[in-house]
Each structure stands twice: as C-alpha cells, then as structure tokens.
Amino acid sequence: MEEDRIKELISEVKSFRAETSEELEKFRIRFLGRKGEIAGLFARMKEIEPGARKQFGLLVNELKRKAEEKLAAKKPKAQKGTDASAAADLTLPGEPAQTGSLHPVTLVRNKIVSIFSRIGYTVSEGPEIEDDWHNFSALNFPADHPARDMQDTFFVAPESESEDAPLWSLRTHTSSVQVRMMETTPPPIRTISPGRVYRNEAVSARAHCFFHQVEGLYIDDGVSFADLKQTLLYFAREMFGGESEIRLRPSFFPFTEPSGEMDVSCFICGGKGCAVCKQTGWVEILGCGMVHPKVLGNCGIDPERYTGFAFGMGIERIAMLRYGVKDLRIFSENDIRFLAQFRGRS
C-alpha cells in the first residue's frame, strides 16, 4: 500500500505544471517542506517491516530526486512568466527619461570663452604632455626653479636613458600653448588657451592634482598695462556683474614683468565682507602681467617692436565661487546628485 502511494506521488510530480512563482512555491512546500509528503514518508520508515525498508527507501529517495529536479527546472520559467505578466501591464506609467547636463566646469569654461570671443580672442589648444622647452625654458623658468622639482610636476619617463633625451612632463599650465602660438603665429596675437593642467599636489578641498585653466595672451604694437587692466575689468563685469570692481596687487611670475594678481569685488556681499571673501570684500581671481621680453625673444618675436600681456585663471576656482561649491574634489567625483543640479543651465 505504501509503495503504491509513493508511486502515485512520483507520477504526480512528473506531470506537474507551474505557470507562476506562487504555484511553484506551493509545490515545494507540499513535497519538500519540513512537514511535506517526503518528510512524512521518511518519518514512517521505522514502521516499515525490516525486509521491505530497502525498497521503501529507494522509492522515497526517487520521489525526492524527482521533486527537486522538477523544482529546479520549473523555477526559471515561473519567474520569467511572473516578470513578463507584470511587464505587460500597459496601464502603468512610463519611466521618465533622464536628461543630461553640462558639467559646471564646462559651463564656466564656455562662459569665459564667450566673453573673450566678443572682443576678438580666438581659442588655441595644445598637447597635455609637453617637453621642457614649451613648459618651462621658453617661459623664462630658471634651471633651479621649484616648479621643475618632482614636488610640483609630474614627469614622464623618457623613452631613452641617454642624457640628451628630452625631458617630458604633464603640463603644469596652459602657458605652453601660448609658447606654441608665439612660435608659429606672427603678431598680432590675441588668443585664450583653456585646458586641463596637472600639479603634483596633495588632494584636498582646496587643491587637486589636476584642474582646468584659461590663459590669455595679447601681443601687438604698443600694448600697455592699461590695456591689460581694461581687458580684465571688462571680463570681471561680464562674468560677475556690471557693478564689479577690480584691484591689482604686485606679484612675481618668471614669464611676465611687471606681474600682478587680480582681485574682484565680492559678488556675494557686494564688497561689504562675508565668509566667501573672508570679510575683506575682495576675492582673488587670477594672475597677470606684461609678457617678459625674454619670453618674446625665446619665441622668435622682436621685443623691441612688440609688447603684450598675459593672464591666467583657474576654472574650478571661479566655478566654486559662482555656484557656492565648497569642496574642489566634488567636481571630479561624478556624483549624479551634484551634476543634476546643473540640468538646463547654459
């Protein structure tokens, strides 16, 4: 009698069909659950006559094997059927399409390019891996200048170990692009050079090992410091508002003489003093100066005839001020929550 019952269960397992996950789960509980058919048969093993226990055990094990095989075979199909039936509900609302956005650094770069293009500046670009001449020597950097040290520059391993092999590095500024322009373009030159630069610095909320710059260059007959000041005042008022004022403080750069650093009146507090301007009413924006005569001569331009000015600014610096970002690192973390805030801006 017991053997006939087990054979009926085996036949039932073979003919079982499941269309959904719910039906398959009921099958598992009935046959393979802790209180299911198979567990009950094993529990009655001690009640079977000793001579019939072997045959009884073989049949119960066969029933268990068939049930497990059926469960394994039907499970993927049942899940697929459930997912397909859910996906077929055409009354459900569709997923909204996510639109992309320009990166805040790109937004600021485009704004700067647009401002200078309106007064005749073209955009020039160059390689990010530069030789010593374009990155340092042509720009009047002395041989012992700290910027040449490993603490400030990422040097690239030379292809040859020869002492005459050129020294290559990741560019530390886009002034190298200006050198290439002066070498290949006769004056007048009026250009800006936006791009990524690299410095061997510790990454923090205020500094990074790579960032973006825009550098400008104007060379022609009779260019003066007054032209530089008026150009920078125009830029400040176009970028930060028509009421903006600027001030120039003396500084030093190897490739300009005289050199200065430019502050703009704080556009957050209107010059009254706040946390952004550290209660001074002024925010440092860029470095600038008249192109050093040695730099002009190094690039094949007659310093007796031509003069010019140059300036450079960090794009991330302006983006942090413009959008109230307090940590420089967030610009390169690709956090969608941060980037989504700039959707629709231009």
Q: How confident is the model at residue 258 (pLDDT cuts 50, 70, 90)?
A: very high
For residue 294, what pLDDT is reported? 96
Structural contact between residues 310 and 291, judged by C-beta atoms closer than 8 angstroms:
yes
In the prediction, which pLDDT does 22 show?
83
The residues spanned by each domain of the chain are 2-86, 104-342
Of residues 326 and 260, more confidently modeled: 260
Lowest mean pLDDT among 133-137, 179-183, 273-277: 273-277
Q: Name the residue with higher pLDDT: 70 or 178.
A: 178
Q: Which stretch, 74-78, 148-152, 292-296, has highest mean pLDDT?
A: 292-296
- pLDDT confidence of 259, banded at 50, 70, 90? very high
Structure confidence at residue 162 (pLDDT): 64
CATH homologous superfamily of domain 104-342? Answer: Bira Bifunctional Protein; Domain 2 (3.30.930.10)
Q: Does residue 96 or residue 211 have the better pLDDT?
A: 211
Q: What is the pLDDT of residue 15?
A: 82
Task: Give the full edge-to-edge strand order of the sheet including 155-156.
Answer: 129-131, 168-170, 155-156
Task: Please state the rounded mean pLDDT for residues 200-225.
Answer: 92
Write out the DSSP string of 137-203.
Answer: GGGT--TT-GGGSTTT--EEPPS---TTSPPEEE-SSTHHHHHHHHHHSPSPEEEEEEEEEE-----
Q: 13 Cβ partners below 8 Å, 6+ apart?
A: 31, 63, 66, 67, 70
* pLDDT value, residue 76: 64
78-92, 171-185, 237-251: least confidently modelled range: 78-92
Instruction: Considering only residues 231 and 344, tell me which one the structure prediction assigns the higher pLDDT.
Output: 231
For residue 151, pLDDT over 70 is answered with no
What's the full length of the chain, in residues?
A: 346
Per-chain mean pLDDT for the chain: 86
pLDDT digits (tens, 9 = 90+) for 19-40: 788 888 888 888 888 878 888 8
Of 233 and 98, the structure prediction assigns the larger pLDDT to: 233
Bridge partner list, 311: 216, 288
How far apart, in whole angstroms, are the C-alpha atoms of residue 227 and residue 229? 5
CA 13 to chain centre: 56
- For the question of whether the overall pTM of this predicted structure is more than 0.85, the answer is no
Query: Sheet containing 122-123: which strands, arranged edge to edge?
Result: 122-123, 189-198, 210-221, 306-314, 282-291, 256-265, 246-253
Residue 331: helix, strand or coil by DSSP?
helix
pLDDT tens digits, one per residue of 184-210? 999 999 999 999 999 988 888 888 899
pLDDT value, residue 323: 87
**Residue 336: per-residue pLDDT:** 87
Q: Would you say residue 117 has pLDDT above 90?
A: yes
Range in 40-44, 198-202, 219-223 with the lowest mean pLDDT: 40-44
